[in-house]
Homo-oligomer: A and B are copies of this chain.
Amino acid sequence: MQYIDMETLKYLLFEVQDTERVLEFPRHEAFDKEAINMLLDSVKDFGDQDLYPIFKEMDENPARYEDGTIVTHPKLGELMRKAAELGLISDTFDEKFGGMQVPYTAHTAMGLILDAANNQAPGYWLLTQGAADLIVHFGSEELQQTYVPNMMAGEWGGTMALTEPQAGSSLSDIKTSATPQEDGSYKIKGHKIFISGGDHQHVDNIVHLLLARIDGAPTGTKGISLFVVPKNRITPDGLVPNDVITAGDFEKMGQKGYCTTHLVFGDKDDCKAWLVGEPHQGLKYMFKMMNGARIDVGRGANAITHAAYHASLKYANERPQGRPIQNAGKKDASQEPVLIINHPDVRRMLLLQKAIAEASTSLIFEAALYHDIEMNSQDPEEKGKYHLLLELLTPIVKTYPSEMGRIAVNNGLQVLGGYGFCSDFILQQYYRDIRIFSIYEGTTGIQSIDLLGRKLTMEQGKAMKLLAGEMKNVIEDAMAIEELRPYGKQLLEKLELNKEVMTYLMNFAMKGDYQRFLSDATIFMEFFGTIIIGWQWLKIAVKAKQSLLTGDNSHKVDFFQSKIHTMKFFYKYEMPRTTGLAEILTDETVLTLPNEEEVFA
């Protein structure tokens, strides 16, 4: 099933991004390129056989609240166990936890395939993995032994329980309380909402990694602790309910098969919890995982973008409609209609999707690679470098695939005309599903403030200097190839433009006017993200052109040429938009800061 192009995925992973470099680290030495590719193929088989076939069903029969629990797709339990057997829940974990010690780059590629096949089902076990990861990193030996094995087996679920009704984007307002007990445990009281995978009928237990405030803790983010709160307590007599009540499931516009629960903890004063790590360090622990979680969100959106692209490409290759415009500007109605892929506007809509989908994947892999190097490197300088690069890229990796992916999918739907709007075709589901990704794990507004207000300024702009260095390496390579020189030049100009914009904006920060500095952060994200994707496309095109020049026959000539063509498309149709965006960003008019004026009158 063509929801993702495996050839391109592997090309981006191993040819464009140097993932083999990671396989040299001792932790991953069991793997070579071939082993990773085999893993990817087995994941694709799983997607073809098990995930894609129930994708539409999950939308048409949404998760629903029934008798105090959530009823999800009947096959979900089977899938979780199969995912566990394939090693997909424990893939990145240490061997001592039954893991494969797969690098995060490979894990990300696997996740991309899974999400493209079905952007909902894998969430159940990937969140379980994330929850177990927190226990493994920060929890006691006892917590690890108690919870991790069943989670790895797909027998128990796991969640991240952060959001509360009054604390969405603003985690400092978390109110859920934790009261110390004599036995060293805590009692939890509070409401959590929007908890993905928060409850369902297919697991014996659900392990919530929950943020709460220990009685007397400082206000704000510094007083938040992380707890393990199981739905059922483990006792010598077996599992006993732990006063975690499922109060409801949020019905949603998309991702309908992926439940989003409202949980009530401690309504009967009998909800026990165990502290993870030190008190008041909860947000710090959570944020250690946050880069990964945000990359995963970008990956999820990107997966949908690939799937939508391939669905619309297939349609365009099968649907006859209309005729080419003749040179006189007329059409000849006596001719047979052509396939719509021959219409320039349809080609533009397809190429835009391809341009957004493939370079986003490349960027996601680049970030995953940085993560792997940071985690594995023994060289403090290298570690520091990739840490900074990853910090800088993360908000973009989360946001570009989500925001531009939505625009790509919108183009995919449009390719189908009226059928795109109809439930019989899959595009409308992708269109609905992808909408949440600009909200998940910090909205676009939050990511943009993080990018401009924190990442670009940290350590006196060191991350940006490092990133510019990475970009200049690619530009240098491009400059050495005649066909690519104009694009290298263009990227260099955009880097200069970015410097001008940054200088203009930083001026406000230096004057202490942070509100103004950050007021157009979202526009800056659009601007900077486009340049970053331009960098990725140039990187892809350099590789492809080098292969063509050296007669590399690992792929067909068409394959390499289509990459170069899509790069040119991006440089024609997307990069120039940054000119207008730079104008907006350096316009001195202030129109969005709150003041006495009634601007919405």
> Chain A: residues with CB nearer than 8 A to chain B?
163, 166, 168-170, 172-173, 194, 219-221, 250-254, 260, 313, 320-329, 331, 333-334, 337, 341-348, 350-351, 354, 406, 410, 413-414, 417-418, 420-424, 428, 431-432, 435-436, 438-439, 443-445, 448-449, 453, 509, 512-515, 517-523, 556, 558-559, 561-562, 565-566, 568-569, 572-573, 576-581, 583-584, 587, 589, 591-594, 597-601
Q: What are the nearest 6 A-B pairs in CB distance?
A: A220-B333, A576-B583, A580-B580, A344-B519, A253-B428, A251-B423
Question: Judging by beta carbons under 8 Å apart, are B578 and A418 in contact?
Answer: no
Q: Is the CB of A587 within 8 A of B565?
A: no
**Shortest Cβ distance from residue A5 to the other chain B in the assembled complex, whole angstroms:** 9
Which residue of B169, B260, B562, B589 is within 8 Å of A572 (Cβ)?
B589
Which residues in B have their C-beta under 8 angstroms from that of A443? 414, 417
State the majority secondary structure of interface residues on A.
helix
Which of B219, B354, B519 contacts A345 (CB under 8 A)? B519
Could you write out 11 A-B pairs with CB less than 8 Å apart?
A: A168-B418, A169-B321, A170-B337, A252-B428, A327-B514, A343-B445, A344-B515, A344-B520, A351-B591, A410-B435, A414-B443
Knowing A320-B166, A333-B220 are in contact, say whether A439-B414 is a contact too (CB < 8 A).
yes
CA–CA, A565 and B328, complex, Å: 47
Task: Please determine whether A566 and B599 come into contact, CB atoms closer than 8 angstroms.
Answer: yes
Let me know if B565 and A591 touch, CB within 8 A. Answer: yes
- Which one of B173, B514, B566, B572 lies within 8 Å of A337 (CB-CB)? B173
CA distance A350 to B601 in the complex (A): 12
- Contacts A348-B592, A418-B194, A594-B347: A327 and B512 contacting too (C-beta < 8 A)? yes
Q: In the bound complex, how far is the Cα of B351 from the Cα of A354, in angstroms?
A: 32
> A226: shortest Cβ distance to chain B, in Å?
18
A581 touches B580 (CB 8 A): yes
Inter-chain CA distance A12–B531, complex, in Å, is 40
Chain B residues contacting A194 (CB-CB under 8 Å) are 418
CB distance from A425 to the nearest CB of B (A): 10
CA distance A514 to B576 in the complex (A): 24
- Chain B residues whose CB sits within 8 angstroms of the CB of A260 once the complex forms: 422
Which residues of B are found within 8 Å of A414, using beta-carbon distances?
438-439, 443-445
Task: Give the distance to chain B from A52, nearest Cβ to Cβ, in Å.
Answer: 20
Q: Which of B320, B421, B601 contacts A556 (CB 8 A)?
A: B601
Q: Is the CB of B584 within 8 A of A328?
A: no
Whole-angstrom CA separation of A322 from B442 in the bound complex: 13
Q: A351 and B592: CB pair below 8 A?
A: yes
- The answer on a CB contact under 8 Å between A421 and B435 is yes
Q: In the complex, A587→B490 CA distance in Å? A: 13
Closest chain-B Cβ to A251's Cβ sits at a distance in Å of 4
Contact of A522 among B254, B348, B599 (CB under 8 A): B348
User: Which one, B325, B512, B573, contacts A523 given CB within 8 A?
Assistant: B573
Asked if B576 and A578 make an inter-chain contact with CB atoms under 8 angstroms apart, the answer reads no
Min CB distance A522 to B, Å, is 6
A568 and B580 contact, CB distance less than 8 A: no
Partner among B250, B439, B591 whose Cβ is within 8 Å of the Cβ of A417: B439
With A453-B329, A599-B565 as known contacts, state yes or no: A584 contacts B592, CB within 8 Å. no
A105 to B128, CA, bound (A): 58
- What residues of B have a CB within 8 angstroms of the CB of A347 in the complex? 592-594, 599
C-alpha gap A573/B592 in the complex (Å): 11
A300 to B76, CA, bound (A): 41
**What residue of chain B has the Cβ atom nearest to residue A556's Cβ?**
B601
Task: Note all chain B residues with C-beta closer than 8 A to A432.
Answer: 253, 432
Would A600 and B423 count as touching, CB distance under 8 A?
Answer: no
Query: What B residues does A313 contact at CB under 8 A?
Result: 600
Q: Is the CB of A321 within 8 A of B168?
A: yes
Q: How far is the CA of A250 from the CA of B449 in the complex (A)?
A: 43
Of B324, B417, B439, the contact of A420 (CB 8 Å cutoff): B439
Within the assembled complex, what's the spacing in Å between the Cα atoms of A220 and B519? 55
